[in-house]
């Protein structure tokens, strides 16, 4: 009985933390939407900045580069690492925590108050068909880890923001395009 109660308590904590829930439609931002990370005098406004796509390589892989802008709207300097994950209309995912940007994620320099930095992250697709599926509409999840002092990188996000990518919003060489 004691084990069952401990298990239920842990499960409840995980659900409260949101680790097992997927974003609900009201929590998904449009592509032009922004989110505030932090609270009080320690806040950062994040938004999508731009996308780039490499031409297909010999093996058909393409790199989707994602720039997220972070504006320090607080009073303290901040520094972030973030990982991007794209989920296409078929449910296939690209990137994620410990995967995007070769496992290193995007990294900002120290962002001083009232300054903005757009850091580069990227995910890799296996084929032009993957990029086509993403371009039919997808979700972009970005997991932000705030870096405090000289503490080594953690893979537990402090913040999670989801954007809905509009159809045809990712530039690139698509099958049948000219």
- Does 23 score more than 50 pLDDT? no
What's the rounded mean pLDDT across residues 12-24?
38
Contact 134, 64 (CB under 8 A): yes
What's the rounded mean pLDDT across residues 88-107?
92
Domains of the chain plus CATH, in order, are 35-165 (2.60.40.10)
Average pLDDT taken over every residue of the chain:
82
- The model's pTM: 0.80
State pLDDT tens for residues 130-157. 999 999 999 999 999 998 776 656 678 9
pLDDT value at residue 113: 97
Inter-CA distances, 99 with 16, 62, 65, 170, Å: 26, 15, 14, 20
pLDDT value at residue 88: 95
State pLDDT tens for residues 58-78. 888 999 999 999 999 999 999
- Does 1 score more than 60 pLDDT? no
Helix (H, G, I), strand (E, B) or coil at 155: coil
Read off the DSSP letter of residue 157.
-
pLDDT value at residue 175: 41
Read off the DSSP letter of residue 72.
E
């Amino acid at each position: 009985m004691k084990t069952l109660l401990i298990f239920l308590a842990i499960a409840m904590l995980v659900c409260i933390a949101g680790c097992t829930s997927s974003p609900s439609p009201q929590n998904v931002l449009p592509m032009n939407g922004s989110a505030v990370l932090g609270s009080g005098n320690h806040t950062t406004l994040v938004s999508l900045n731009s996308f780039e796509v490499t031409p297909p390589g010999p093996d058909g892989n393409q790199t989707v580069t994602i720039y997220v802008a972070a504006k320090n709207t607080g009073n303290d300097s901040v520094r972030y690492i973030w990982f991007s994950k794209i989920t296409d209309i078929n449910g296939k995912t690209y990137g994620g925590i410990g995967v995007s940007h070769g496992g290193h994620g995007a990294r900002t320099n120290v962002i001083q108050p009232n300054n903005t930095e757009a850091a580069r992250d990227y995910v890799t697709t296996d084929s032009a068909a993957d990029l086509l599926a993403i371009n039919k509409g997808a979700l972009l999840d970005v997991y932000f880890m705030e870096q405090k002092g000289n503490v080594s990188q953690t893979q537990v996000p402090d913040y999670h923001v989801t954007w809905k990518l509009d159809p045809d919003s990712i530039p690139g060489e698509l099958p049948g395009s000219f």
